[in-house]
Structure formats: structure tokens, C-alpha cells
Structure 1
């Protein structure tokens, strides 16, 4: 089991999903990810446990794989890139963005939500970057 943020999961879900749309299905997550209209509702700064993110079902091969295994394979294939999640005091956020920009580092997504996922007992600690 690995802990990841909602932002990391969203990046994987939207940019690195295995297979073509409609070929790979995500089932039985303990976290609500999208609403009934397909809009993203999972908070980006939520702390998620990969073993609670259900499984992927591959239609073409009729194979089912737990998300925890799929995530570990994804991370091992991307050893050149690192995804970091930081909690930054609100007064330091612009300075951090400027420093990261100078290094050519970009955020996965800006405007992070600060609402915890179910089971996350943190209380509004400010935005993550």
C-alpha cells in the first residue's frame, strides 16, 4: 500500500490511464472520484491509500488488476520524473511557485481543494502544491 494525493491520482487518471477510453474500467474504489455527471469531486489534496482505490478491469483481455499493483508499475516506469506533494504556508506559496518556475518545474494542477477525503482526519491545513 502506498499513499498518494488526489492530485497524483487525477494526473494518472486523466493523463496516464492504461488503454483507450472505454477499454479499461475502474471499479470498487472506496473514494468517490466523480459525481453522476462525470465531474471530478475527489479533493486534490486528499491522502489516498492505493489499496483502497479498487481495481482496473481490461475489457480486451478480461483481466482484472488491483489499483495498488497498477500504481506501483506506473511509478517504476517513470523513474525519471518525481511527483512531490508539499504543504506550503499560504504566505510562502508565491515564492515557492517562482522558485519552481525558475527550475522549470510545473504543478500538476493549480487551485487545489483543501477538503479531506473520507478517512483523512486532517483539518484545513492550507493548500498543497
Structure 2
């Protein structure tokens, strides 16, 4: 699956366990400009570097897989979670022609943007496994 939008936030790499790390990317998606959506994508393990050369405000096309899984809490209640797992992120060339970039010309070198903490912890403890 693919979606085009504008980079809204880029998360820090989170080392979840000794062997597992992840990173989030929030993309503004405006299929209907009156109702802008904020879509969270995640990258795991070595793919966390996919977001390194992005800047807030960049127009991007994200290729991703939709994943879902059940999780049962300690009281036996099962919840279902969906994840959008990014496997490719490509910058979309500006239509004004000022950048000189052409679509599909390969990776570009950019300074990494300041990172944004997008954790939703807010001091609350939960028993989710991720």
C-alpha cells in the first residue's frame, strides 16, 4: 500500500528491548482538505533509518504494510491492534520546479531534523507488551 502526505512529526528511535527497536513517523494526509488525518507509521529494526533524511514539512510517499494482532490482558480481555509498517519512504519532488529534484532520482542528502518526542506515556502505566 502507498500513501502521499506531508511529514508532521519524526520520532526518536526507541529501544524497546535489547533486540528490538522502533521509530514513528506522523504524516499529514489530506485526501479531503477539510478533514486532515494524521497517520502514524512505524519502522522497526534496521528500517528505523528510513526516516533519517526527512524534514518536517517534506512531501513524501510512504509504502507500507498493514499488520494486525490480538493481545490478551491479564484479565483475559482480548484487544486487537493495527500497525502501519513503513518499508519505503520517498520524497515527492516539488511541483514548483524550484528544487530541481526529479521523482525517483534516488536518495538525497539532508540534515536530520530535530527529533520530536511522540510518546503517549504522559506518566500513565499500562500493561501493553509494546
Query: Common fold, TM-score beyond 0.5?
Result: no
Which has a greater percent of strand?
2
TM norm structure 1: 0.28
User: Which structure carries more relative contact order (alpha carbon 8 Å, separation 6+)?
Assistant: 1
Look at both structures and tell me which one has the larger radius of gyration over its CA atoms.
2
Which has a greater percent of helix?
1
